[in-house]
Amino acid sequence: MTASLFDQFADLVAEVPDEIVTHSLVKDVVLPGAGGEMGATIALITLDNGLDHTKPTTLGPNTLVELGRTLEGLRERARDGEIQAVAVTGKPYFLVAGADLTTVKKLRKPEHGAQMARLGHAAYDLLADLGVPTFAFINGVALGGGLEIALACTYRTVSSGANGLGLPEAFIGLVPGWGGVYRLPRLTGPEAGLKIMIENPLSNNRTIGGQEAFSLGIADALFEPADFLEQSLAWAGGVLAGRTAVERPHAVDPSADAAVGERWDAAAKAARALVAAKTGDAAPAPGKVLDVFEAGKLATQEESAELEVEALTHLMQTPQFRDTVYAFLDLVQRRAKRPAGAPDAKLARPVTKVGVVGAGLMASQLALLFARQLKVPVVMTDIDQARVDKGVAHVHGEIEKLFAKGRLSAGAANRTKALVSGSVSKDAFADADFVIEAVFEELSVKKQVFAEVEAVVSPECILATNTSSLSVTAMAEGLEHPERVVGFHFFNPVAVMPLVEVVRAPETDDAVLATAFVLAKSLRKTAVLVKDAAAFVVNRVLLRLMGEVTATFDEGTPAEVADTALKPLGLPMTPFTLAAMVGLPVAQHVSESLHAAFGDRFHVSANQQALIDAGIKGLWAPTPDGGQEVPASTLELLTFGDAPSTAEQVLTRAEDALAEEIGLLLAEGVVAGPEDVDLCMILGAGWPMHLGGITPYLDRVGASERVTGRKFHADA
């Protein structure tokens, strides 16, 4: 029996005996009209793990070895003239969803990481040089190594219905390690290549669809999903017969064109600036992607592969990768789909009409989300017709923008606009199943709103509040049916932020709670169950953090030192910038609410109030050279103590404050466990994925034990 190239990976395969294998199923297909009278025979590989369409196919060592051995067999058949081409596609809705992270995280030894990297290259190099043309038919999700399979082929088609295409490795703490860094930018140009490898992963792990993949030059042809495989095979037949010419206007070769080399360098420079802005250069993976990208500009495929193997081997051993896998796999992928404490979904009531109290910016965002995702009538109310008209017009305008960007068809845009209406009378809610208020953050105002709504809706209609810090229990007091009230707290901007805090008051019943969870899922949001306590989770933790930094500033720490002390965390923005974005009056109001609830742990800044009173929107002002400063006129308004801190002291103080607040929050039973705090902070506050969630970070730096005497995670 002929030895296989893949025999060398036997030890690696033995490390993961429980891997769910994605099998390489081969079927010969004759393409009439290609390759002469008899037609051409194409060997079609279908990647399938034998599970239902909700379980994605993934790539682990056993899967890659099977794929490699299959390709070795097909190479022999190609040499013998039995087949004239090879194609790869996937089971319904998936090409491949990337590496099997459950398996990969078990590979703790550096040599196993290196073997995993080399195994992928061994298999994909066969696809790239099989002796006959190879085709990838991208029928669905193609992430990471899944997209790299397609990139290794000679030609690619994509379904217009395919979603979830991308190279997300920078997001999960790795580099595209199986040829992606080399092949993608040579197909699409360096700018689009780095958009896929850097910008999208660092933008909430954004992916692209089939249409965009075709437009960028990743795929050579685009077909509708109904007969995608048939059309792709016919197209492949045309290519093999010479009837179909393949043009690649975006393809570049930086080693042959100095102008492309300049574009390459400029794209890398812009991407490094983006990484610094998004992560503070605290996450190692994006920088490694760019290192390989830059070093590979004039490299061969083989030389670039060695760079990828080296980077992948290194990153797989970093704590940031393991933390990211916890955050991404255990939290965002698993716990988010099975929320702790959520009632049985069968208890949920149907929602066929939604009411939104308020027509301001937040209310308008909510109305748009409900109309787009639920496709049910949404009616907005406010205190006068002008406000109502402005709110409805804003929603319609946002729908028009989505249409202009190609994200909605003309028909879908018109249907969505028709669903959104306004009224000055709450009588418009009479037949609503779910009414959410988004009015001024004042308890008396919200109580009045709920009393007015309850007077016109059915007893089964659910009353939801989007409050960020007020008591849901207090809002329900005095109502005829307090059991119908639930907190449903979104984060701004609503379209982007994936978290909803579902707040259960003592009298909230299971049917109402179940409806809230099902509704959140229908809105494509992640819901976390929280107990009714001041500011719930995200704002409580975030305001404690911001309060500590502000307190050090008020005590005499220079603004630059206080505001940049948290840079090692790689947070999305600095505390003072975040306060300005949220709005100083809003931040101050929530701080006052938390101070009233929890006392001096939550600092209420007299300096911040002075800025508010003077109409100043933020501490920092831009300078002519593109920097920032605290203007002298602003400093004149402020008073400071004489106890400045160093950046290290500010960071340690903030860490200890976070550990204390989260420890208290968990002791109060606000959420089921530290994992829910982590999930809330990642999805609601942009807490960096590479830190693995806030509680593992606090364990790692020792804050948990310094403050509470124990770690949040026993195995940390």
Check if 169 is active-site: yes
Q: Tell me the CB-side half-sphere exposure of residue 412, using CA atoms within 13 A.
A: 15
First to last CA, the chain: 48
- Indicate the SS3 state at residue 140: coil
Check if 224 is active-site: no
Do residues 253 and 260 lie in contact, with contact meaning Cβ atoms separated by under 8 Å?
A: yes
Give the count of beta carbons closer than 10 Å to the beta carbon of residue 158.
29
Contacts of 516 (CB under 8 A, 6+ apart): 462, 464, 486, 488, 502, 527
Catalytic residue among 19, 66, 148, 501: 148
Among 610, 637, 536, 619, which residue's Cα sits nearest to residue 582?
619
Contacts of 61 (CB under 8 A, 6+ apart): 9, 12, 13, 15, 16, 19, 103, 115, 116, 119
- Indicate the SS3 state at residue 96: strand
Could you tell me which residues are beta bridge partners of residue 87? 44, 135
CA–CA separation, 484 and 142 (whole Å): 43
| Burial status of residue 626 (CB atoms within 10 A of its CB: 0-12, 13-18, 19 or more) | exposed
CA–CA separation, 138 and 95 (whole Å): 6
Pairing outcome for strands 420-423 and 378-381: parallel
Residue type, position 528, single letter: V
The b/e string for 531-570 (b: 16+ C-beta within 10 A; e otherwise) is: bbbbbbbbbbbbbbbbbbbbbbbbeebebebbbbbbeebb
Sheet strands side by side (includes 165-166): 94-96, 141-143, 165-166
Catalytic residue among 169, 398, 661, 675: 169
Contacts of 123 (CB under 8 A, 6+ apart): 6, 64, 67, 68, 71
CA–CA separation, 125 and 118 (whole Å): 10
The tokens for 210 are 């089939």
Q: 374 to each of 283, 378, 416, how far by Cα in Å? A: 37, 10, 10
Backbone region of residue 497 per phi and psi (left: phi > 0; alpha: psi in -120 to 50; beta: other values):
beta
User: What DSSP assignment string belongs to 147-181?
Assistant: HHHHHHSSEEEEETT---EE--HHHHT---TTTHH
Residue type, position 346, single letter: K
CA–CA separation, 359 and 366 (whole Å): 10
Would you give the DSSP letter of residue 344?
A: P
The tokens for 439 are 């009015």
- Indicate the SS3 state at residue 641: coil
Among 68, 278, 306, which residue's Cα sits nearest to residue 181?
306
- Which positions are catalytic? 148, 169
